[in-house]
Amino acid sequence: MPAGAAAVLAAGMLAHAVPSLAAISALRRRAFPDLAGVGAPTGIALTFDDGPDRESTPAFLHMLAEMDVQATFFLLGRMLDADPGLGREIVAHGHEVAVRGWDHRCLLWRTPRSTYREIARTRDRIVEVTGAVPRWYRPPYGVLTAGALSACRRLALQPRLWTAWGRDWEAGRTATAIQRTVIRTLGAGGTVLLHDSDCTSAPGSWRATLRAVPGLVEWARLRGLDVGPLRRHHRLDGEPDPP
């Protein structure tokens, strides 16, 4: 390939990938607090990725109901398509549903057109199945691209990542290890990333996450922090104060 053509190609790839730098946690919180999920300092946003999954999600719904906690569930379109009734159950329990994407492939390998089609397809399926209109989008691996940002603008979605995660997708993680990893970077106004499904994680990893959540909720409540969904944690411009 001629040097000039290679330079043009490299520049194009860089332009496509530059927004993915927001996936770097420390940089994200400082430079893009809204994107990172930094919200009201009186609370913590609890979010779960990659469901709904019949094997695991009902256990999370039951556990959250016992603690009187609502959360935001970022749904994979293919998982919702496989069990639309469970998607409706999530909404019926008072939780918020949001867009994760149709599957879990990194956006760096997708064209802007393909990215738009996937996000729109998932958003539309969530509305069709649950009747809820999503407002948030979280990309696979936290990697945003110019194409994803453009799609979000066209679809009236707000990208939201996280300020703390539990690395709960890894094999062999314990509830205690998940709690410690979350708390290490979690503070007032933060957003927690966990998983209610192991469809993209180590088999059975959701069980440790399920055991970890009550301790995280207790940790927040002892500090006077409300635990809830993104809709309560991070109001969009022009919205009234939540009840």
Active site residues: 49, 195
Please state, in angstroms and rounded to a whole number, the distance separating the CA atoms of residues 44 and 53.
24
Q: Are 64 and 70 in contact (CB under 8 A)?
A: yes
- What's the burial of 57, exposed, middle or buried (CB within 10 Å: 0-12/13-18/19+)? buried
Omega of the bond prior to 52 within 30 degrees of 0, cis? yes
b/e map of 140-158 (b: 16 or more CB within 10 Å)?
A: bebbbbbbbbebbeebebb
Please state, in angstroms and rounded to a whole number, the distance separating the CA atoms of residues 41 and 190.
8
**How far, rounded to the nearest angstrom, does the alpha carbon of residue 41 sit from its chain's CA centroid?**
19
Q: Who's near 155: CB < 8 A, 6+ residues apart? A: 116, 119, 120, 123, 137
**How far, rounded to the nearest angstrom, does the alpha carbon of residue 196 sit from its chain's CA centroid?**
11
Q: Who's near 101: CB < 8 A, 6+ residues apart? A: 76, 77, 118, 119, 122, 139, 140
- Nearest residue to 24 (alpha-carbon basis) of 191, 144, 183, 158: 144
- What's the burial of 123, exposed, middle or buried (CB within 10 Å: 0-12/13-18/19+)? buried
